[in-house]
Amino acid sequence: MVTGRALHFVFKIAERKLTAKFYREVLGMKVLRHEEFSEGCEAACNGPYANRWSKTMIGYGPEDTHFVVELTYNYGVSQYEAGNDFQGITIRSKEAIERAKKHNWPTKQEDGKCVLEAPGGYKYYIIDEPQPTDKDPVQKVSLSCSNLKRTIAYWKDILEMKLVEENAKTAILQYGDNQAKLEFKDIGTAVNHAKAYGRIAFAVPKAEQEGIRQKIKESNNKILTDLISLDTPGKATVTVIILADPDDHEICFVDEEGFRQLSVPDYPSEAILDRFIKKEEDKKL
């Protein structure tokens, strides 16, 4: 049995200053930790790049209890081509709408919700209700799929997520009742990940990683990076396995024990991120 915990979604970003402004001043999130790496990740955490890169974890609260966003910045990469793979993240926060107006951030209406776009075109659907203080405001992550039945079979039968809602074109799944949900929308055509593709991450007890690995192998599905240990300078080492679903959405399963140590909030990281942003801005002058 897989006892997963939804952790974060990874975005590649090409511009850190405006991106940081959006997440902090418009969405109202806080930098939880910032980490710099001198070379590419063995599990392609920063994409197919062998260069210097950074990750910034940002969200409404500690990673132990909140679904957060991982902002991946590759030095020297100024643009990413967007595909049709990512649909959006839904957040309950009328306060974000108010902050968007205050900062003159463009808003749109779509399906009865306010839509805010992060730099790079990543959509956030904002439910116009007070932001909860006793639980995570992040409600769900929505992704595209080309065949809903096939997608459900993979995520429900192989990865053992609970199917909580299904209709002709959409399905919603989750691991736990108090976690961010995962929604798939059937777009009726091939899913194109282009260059800006992301990755969704879950934590599982280390003892369950091998079981996931065996199920993927037995079902002839894809393992992009087999079980591997990843180091973060000065922090805990974690074990991960990276998979791809039938539409090639990337999925990371990280060991729960190591990740809880790695993800302890490091709030001074906010100032560290600002220093790196300033350095980049100074180089442009």
Q: State the pLDDT at residue 285.
A: 59
What's the gap between Cα 204 and its chain centre?
A: 16
Q: State the pLDDT at residue 41.
A: 95
Q: Is 259 helix (H, G, I), strand (E, B) or coil?
A: helix
Domain ranges of the chain: 5-284
Establish how many alpha carbons lie within 13 A of residue 249's alpha carbon, considering only the half-sphere containing its beta carbon: 27
Instruction: Quote the CATH superfamily of domain 5-284.
Output: 2,3-Dihydroxybiphenyl 1,2-Dioxygenase, domain 1 (3.10.180.10)
End-to-end CA distance of the chain: 55
Strand order in the sheet with 250-255: 30-37, 53-59, 68-74, 5-13, 199-204, 250-255, 238-244, 222-230
Going by C-alpha positions, the residue among 163, 154, 177 that lies closest to residue 248 is 154
pTM, two decimals, is 0.96
Q: What is the pLDDT tens value at each position of the chain, 285 positions in all?
A: 889 999 999 999 999 999 999 999 999 999 999 999 999 999 999 999 999 999 999 999 999 999 999 999 999 999 999 999 999 999 999 999 999 999 999 999 998 889 999 999 999 999 999 999 899 999 999 999 999 999 999 999 999 999 999 999 999 999 999 899 999 999 999 999 999 999 999 999 999 999 999 999 999 999 999 999 999 988 999 999 999 999 999 999 999 999 999 999 998 989 989 998 888 888 775
Q: State the pLDDT at residue 260.
A: 97
CA-angle at 256, arms to 255 and 261, nearest 5°:
105
